[in-house]
Amino acid sequence: MAVLVTYASRYGATAGIAEQIAATLTAAGHEAQARPVDKAGDLAGAEAVVVGSAVYFRSWLKPATAFVDQHRDALAGRPVWLFSSGPLPGAVQPGGADADPTSKGIAELQAALGARGHQVFDGALDPSKLSLRDRAIRALPAGKALMPEVDGRDWAAIEEWARGIGRELDVVG
């Protein structure tokens, strides 16, 4: 089955997750390609779609939501899965206001598309890739150093989730 894994990535961590999902699906016998949402093209050849986005201030990136809005009818006619990349490990305080890592609007999006699932994966941060604005936001008080590089992506969990998608596709395909 042909699967499009499309994503919006701010600094590359989400792209890495999408590429791993596509590689895992390919290894499971499906034709899978990972492409950024702005290069996803026509969905006519995709029999199933996985859509992912980095999460920024608890929301998907605008290019990802624009892609879903633009292709809503086509997506609703196919098996669809969603994933979010973020937060960073240790960024969510248990019991805090941000304890639920699910992005705003995901439940509605999942229902509107009939998505078969949504998965949240920890993200990654390479401070050298941050924009000046993001560096200012992430800077610590009193002139302390910027947040250190961190990569919380759990590759085994990502691969297992993708294998689960592959098993579902084997049943519907």
Q: What is the 3-state secondary structure (H, E, C) of the chain?
A: CEEEEEEECCCCHHHHHHHHHHHHHHHCCCEEEEEEHHHCCCCCCCCEEEEEEEEECCEECHHHHHHHHHCHHHHHCCCEEEEEECCCCCCCCCCCCCCCCCCCCHHHHHHHHCCCCEEEECCEECHHHCCHHHHHHHCCHHHCCCCCCEECCCHHHHHHHHHHHHHHHHHHC
pTM of the predicted structure, to 2 decimals: 0.84
Domains and CATH numbers, the chain: 2-172 (3.40.50.360)
Of residues 43 and 132, the one with the higher pLDDT is 43
List, for residues 23-64, the tens digit of each pLDDT value: 999 999 999 999 999 999 889 999 999 999 999 888 899 999
Residue 125: its pLDDT value, please? 75
Structure confidence by residue, pLDDT tens digits, 80-104:
999 999 866 555 444 444 444 456 7
